[in-house]
Amino acid sequence: MAYSNNVRPMPEKPNFHMTPEEFRRHGKAVVDWIADYYEHVESYPVMSQAKPGQIRASLPKNPPAQGEPFEAMLKDVEKLILPGITHWQSPNFFAFFPSNTSFPSIMGEMLSAGLGVQGMLWATSPACTELETHVLDWLVDMLALPKSFSSSSNGGGVIQDTASNSSLCALLAARERATNYASNEHGCDGRLVAYTSSQAHSSIEKAVKIAGLGRENLRLVEVDETFAMRPAALAAQIKNDTAAHRIPCFVSATVGTTSSNAMDPVRAIGEICREHKIWLHVDAAMSGTAALCPEFRWIHDGLELADSYCFNPHKWMFTNFDCDCFYVADRKALINTMSVLPEYLRNQATESGAVIDYRDWHVPLGRRFRALKLWFVIRHYGIEGLQHHVRRHVELAQQFASWVRNDTQFELAAPVPLNLVCFRHRAGDAVTQAIMDRLNQSGDLYFTHTKLDGKFTLRLCIGQTATELQHVQSAWLRIREEAAAAKA
């Protein structure tokens, strides 16, 4: 139907909703649009070339007084929004850690939006809770996680929005356990201390601020030459703090640090935590997915000593953002920490004690039906399909690392345990940075940097759904071309 003046005609009776028939039509157009986008995503400049304020300036100053036709909105996505998109799903996206997705996941997300349920309590949609429990138990087996994390033991898993929130919940539970649940009642004891390595993700520092421990009570433990936490340095710090009448309550170990994919030695750290009765959280945000493959499960050695663990299917397991899986070995500690029960949430199922109410497992009350997309991903790929793609990414990264290793101009800056390669030009920081800046500006690929041993270091992470050998080959070719240009 054609509309005049870009205004939807007034319905006869005042009802401005889209009809199921219109939704059917426009919804199909949206699916087509998404499919076309994926077919052509490689042709866009990977990093958005938009200047600050450019997208906003292209938008109408005022909201429409009268509703607009859907076609106009979809056209504007193409015209106004796409220029401001960095194409995370491009096979030439190698920046940060991936945030990959897949069509089964997208369809799970659509159904979740379509059902529109809010799963704060078991009673508000039993399937939302029970599917989540079930899929998280599947993942315990799929990743060979300790049985203590399964819902059939004293622990269990829950989907959180992000690893940041999982770490926060772990820290809050650690704080409460260490103070016999008194901090929730009387405020935080200023003597509580948390530990993580100097290479840990910034979300740990943020959690320490939010949980009220105070940043001065976070110890950034020294790392070894592979950028992994030194257990002896951790033990020494704990000893100092205990001698000063402080209360060590929380250690966060990282399986795959953001900077360089370093693997903290979980077993040695876990033994120290057990000795001192300290909560051990393991943050495996990206790298945890590798444990789908038995040959990479060494990254989790000692995980049975952990009190909590998280990894993000929204990074490397083809499940669109957001989806973080958070596990605890003792669900009571978490629930006692988080639970508040106002009258308006009371219901028979909760009172019976026979159900899980996930609202007690994290900060927000409301929760989306995220398990659907994870369920679809696991069912579509099967364990073997997921293993295949994870192995392929690791193989490609190892291939790239071997090219760097054999090149006289470049050097590896850290070990390459999985799918992240850290490297730099031997000519120094200026040339290394120029290579990155020129390539990112070119739109051909997108990668980011870190500093290791005080030196500017490039990070190339291989984990996007559609990345294949030819993308990695052409990245290496372009990197060498730009190195030649930067030196000229």
Shortest separation between residue 190's beta carbon and ligand PLP, angstroms: 26
d(CA 16, CA 14): 6
Q: Round to whole Å and give the CA distance between 235 and 242.
A: 11
Read off the tokens for 320.
Answer: 């669109």
d(CA 91, CA 466): 5
Tokens 């294949």, residue located = 468
Partners of 229 in the β-ladder: 223
Taking CB under 6 A as the binding criterion, the range among 54-62, 135-143, 159-167, 449-457 that sits at the site for ligand PLP is 159-167
Among 132, 283, 357, 360, binds ligand PLP (CB under 6 A): 283
Q: Which is nearer to ligand PLP, 248 or 463 (CB)?
A: 463
Neighbours of 283 (CB within 10 A): 30
Closer to ligand PLP by CB, 221 or 355: give it.
221
Least distance in angstroms from the C-beta of 315 to ligand PLP:
7
- Looking at 192, 273, 285, 356, which residue binds ligand PLP (CB under 6 A)? 285
Q: How far is the CB of 404 from ligand PLP (least distance, A)?
A: 22
Residue 277 main-chain phi, psi, to 5 deg: 55, 50
3-class DSSP state of 365: coil
Give me Rg for the CA atoms of the chain: 24
Structural contact between residues 231 and 266, judged by C-beta atoms closer than 8 angstroms:
no
Least Å distance between CB 244 and ligand PLP?
29
Element (H, E) at 330: none
Min dist CB 167 to ligand PLP, Å, is: 7
Q: Does 164 bind ligand PLP (CB under 6 A)?
A: yes
Applying CB under 6 A, the span of 156-164, 170-178, 219-227, 377-385 interacting with ligand PLP comes to 156-164
Q: How far is the CB of 211 from ligand PLP (least distance, A)?
A: 15
Of the ranges 184-192, 279-287, 373-381, 421-429, which one interacts with ligand PLP (CB under 6 A)?
279-287
Dist. CA 381–CA 383, nearest whole Å: 6
Q: Closest Cα to residue 121, out of 316, 360, 451?
A: 360
Surface-to-core class of residue 439, CB atoms within 10 Å of its CB (0-12 exposed, 13-18 middle, 19+ buried): buried
124 vs 258, beta carbon nearer ligand PLP: 258
**Which of 163, 173, 229, 418 contacts ligand PLP by CB under 6 A?**
163
**Among 145, 213, 228, 286, interactor with ligand PLP by CB under 6 A:** 286
Among 89, 90, 92, 162, binds ligand PLP (CB under 6 A): 162
The answer to whether 106 contacts ligand PLP (rule: CB under 6 A) is no
Contacts 24+ apart (CB under 8 A), 123-131: 123/347, 123/348, 123/349, 123/350, 123/355, 125/369, 126/355, 128/367, 128/369, 128/371, 129/355, 129/356, 129/357, 129/358, 131/369, 131/371, 131/372, 131/375
Peptide bond just before 322 cis, omega within 30 deg = yes
Pick 162 or 465: Cβ nearer ligand PLP: 162
Token digits for 109?
């997300």
Using rule CB under 6 A, residue 258 touches ligand PLP: yes
The residue range among 78-86, 158-166, 217-225, 395-403 that interacts with ligand PLP, by the rule CB under 6 A, is: 158-166
- Residue 387 within binding range of ligand PLP, rule CB under 6 A: no
Residues within the interface to ligand PLP (CB under 6 A): 97, 162-164, 201, 203, 254, 257-258, 283, 285-286, 312, 324
